[in-house]
Amino acid sequence: MSIKLIAVDMDGTFLNDEMAYNEERFMNQYRELKARGIKFAVASGNQYAQLTSFFPEIKSEIAFVAENGAFVVNAGEEVFAGSMSEDTIKAVIRALEQYEVKNVIVCGKKARIFMKMPVKMNICMPVSIIMC
């Protein structure tokens, strides 16, 4: 059986304690993976934009499973984007207000919104928001 894909988590796995990696060493390894037809994927709870910032020279070649799987991009093409309706988002926020939650982060493809609790429910939210 041959290896077809290598997927890595970022924080505390691929990245060191300084949130960095040996780019020269990795690029040498990545070229070898490509030569063998092995795909490389990054899987993380982090946002897509943050993940691509670690791999600027190959971001259009590799796969990203971002936002805990809610946003997936392969070779620069969006494969999947999970979303919640505005009503669902408001219901989640109302449910969170029952607990001692101080802040909520709502993430989308292009932005993230930090909200202090309790939240006024008349805020306008885009439909394609991802809770994280």
- Measured in residues, the chain has a length of 132
93 with 63, same domain? no
Among 105, 110, 107, 103, residue whose Cα is nearest residue 129: 107
Domain final position from 56, 81, 106: 81
Whether 9 is catalytic is yes
Please pick, among 9, 11, 17, 87, the residue that the annotation labels catalytic.
9
- Say which residue the tokens 């219901």 belong to: 91
Please tell me the pTM assigned to this model.
0.76
- Tens digit of pLDDT for each residue in 91-107? 887 887 787 777 777 77
Q: Which domain holds residue 57?
A: 5-81
| Structure confidence at residue 110 (pLDDT) | 67
30 with 48, same domain? yes
What total number of domains does the chain contain?
2
71 with 90, same domain? no
30 with 74, same domain? yes
- Tens digit of pLDDT for each residue in 45-55? 888 989 999 99
Written as one letter, the residue type at 105 is I
